[in-house]
Amino acid sequence: MSHQNHTPQSSVSTDNTSLKTTSKPNWPLYFILIITLAITATAYQFLTVSQALVSGLLFICIAFWATSLVPAYWPALGLFTFATATQLAPNNVIFAGFSSSTFWLLFSGMIFGAAINHTGLNSRATRLLMMVLGNSYQGTIIKIAFFAMGLAFLIPSGVGRIVLIIPIIASLADHFGYDKHANGRKAMLLAAAFGTFLPAFSILPANAPNMLLSGMTEALYDTPFSYWEYLLLHFPVLGLGKLIATIIVILWLFPDNAPSQAIQVSIEKSAMTSVEKRLLWVLCGCFALWFTDALHHISAGWIGLMAALVCLWPKFGLTGKNCIDKDLQYGTLLFAAGIIGLSAIIADSGLGRILVNYLTDVIPFSPHSPLLNLSLLTFISTCVAVVTNLAGVPAIMTPMAEHLADITGLSKNAVLMTQVLAFSNVLLPYQAPPLITAIALGNLSIGAVSKVCLATFVITSLILLPINFLWWQCLSVF
């Protein structure tokens, strides 16, 4: 994202860091280290030395990522350092994340965001949004949610979309006359945050868990996902269906009157500049290639990288000359590379096979009950997401996919896709960095965000997941 969009986020991060430093003791760090040593020592009694070390490494990385006691990039760098120093795996395994197309898709998404802001396309989108919202309360919430979902097709970074849209919606709420405690303001911000976040799990390059799953699947099984097939599999229910459910939940939990002020905005009728048109051509070309990847079989990451290179070409003026230095979130890139590398190390060590053997003794899988198996796999991944965070699901479950396919009788693809059902079903805000960012930027209460999370979690578990299984059956997934 652009420098100006990074400013509020970085200031929030700085404030949070300083608060943690001054108000929280260091005992959680020591506790995690002690547990890590205990896990490693216990595992050494039953496993090889390398497997015991990988067990400890898995716990400490996931613990740090789940608790946010340290920045997300720190465990990733620690992983690279420890794994190479102890020779836990070959270097091509440890650093598999950097050679994954997922890493470069995330990189290109950041470049797109910087270009959109640099050229002024974001301002044009703001004016368009203000023009189409209207004065109906329900209509405003619905339109904001659909606009937010549309951003997921344009900007692959979940946090990036939040940073872009939340300040815009907050300004619109002020214009509508909703004060900071009004349900209308909360609903508008929640529609923007959840609208751009929850449906994004059904769009392959739209957020980190999707891309981590894709990257690890490519690294471990050499089977990259198709953009179109992934969209067809998940968008009708987990995308569009979940967006409709979220809108209903927000309108139910936060009712309010219609805006007290009509939008009176003078829309600039200036023609698009040549730079804006140039960027639109680049983005449209990139999206067209993403949508047709079933025909040309070029990975979405490499398509994105080619488009990013065009955006970075100095003569085109699509990005600032210091874009690489100022507009990229290197911590996020290192986090992505780290978690992909962790998954590859787990697979290389054989720890995944040991874990899945334990699961087969505990979980009542049945080769003759595909629906039961899909439900059990989704439940396991959901538990992992609650204990760790959303990105922890691909890290832990992907290395076991092949073995779980053998046990359940399901296809490997079906086993992998149950992870999407799990990490798209968010129980509480702490699991998702984009929601934490929305809370900070929009001055939303954790309670309000948690209510929406819990309500959508229940609706998804009881209604959308059964519908999704029926949709999969129609597509012959199982």
What are the pLDDT digits (tens) for 39-63? 999 988 888 898 899 889 988 987 8
Which has the closest alpha carbon to 29: 80, 73, 76, 75? 75
Residue 81 pLDDT greater than 90, yes or no:
yes
Residue 332 pLDDT class (50, 70, 90 cuts): confident
What are the pLDDT digits (tens) for 236-281? 999 999 999 999 999 999 988 877 655 544 445 567 788 888 998 9
Q: So where are the chain's domains?
A: 3-474
Task: Report percent pLDDT > 90 for the chain.
Answer: 27
Highest mean pLDDT among 27-36, 282-291, 331-340: 27-36
Residue 227 pLDDT greater than 60, yes or no:
yes
Residue 312 pLDDT class (50, 70, 90 cuts): very high
202, 235 contact by CB (below 8 A): yes
DSSP states along 245-294: HHHHHHHHHS--PPPSS--------PPPPHHHHHHHHHHHHHHHHHHTHH
For residue 5, the model assigns a pLDDT of 43
Residue 17 pLDDT class (50, 70, 90 cuts): very low
Residue 103 pLDDT class (50, 70, 90 cuts): confident
Tell me, what amino acid is at 421?
A: L
Which has the closest alpha carbon to 398: 471, 293, 386, 384? 384
Cα within 13 Å of Cα(355), Cβ side: 20
Residue 470 pLDDT greater than 80, yes or no:
yes
Residue 127 pLDDT class (50, 70, 90 cuts): low
Query: Which range, of 71-85, 172-186, 283-297, averages the lowest pLDDT?
Result: 283-297
Residue 126 pLDDT class (50, 70, 90 cuts): low
For residue 260, the model assigns a pLDDT of 64
Q: How confident is the prediction for the chain on average, in pLDDT?
A: 82
Round to whole Å and give the CA distance between 415 and 397. 9
Round to whole Å and give the CA distance between 397 and 62. 13
For residue 433, the model assigns a pLDDT of 74
Predicted TM-score (pTM) of the model is: 0.67
Residue 6 pLDDT class (50, 70, 90 cuts): very low
Reading phi first (left if > 0) and then psi (alpha if -120 to 50, else beta), residue 68 is in left
Residue 381 pLDDT greater than 90, yes or no:
no
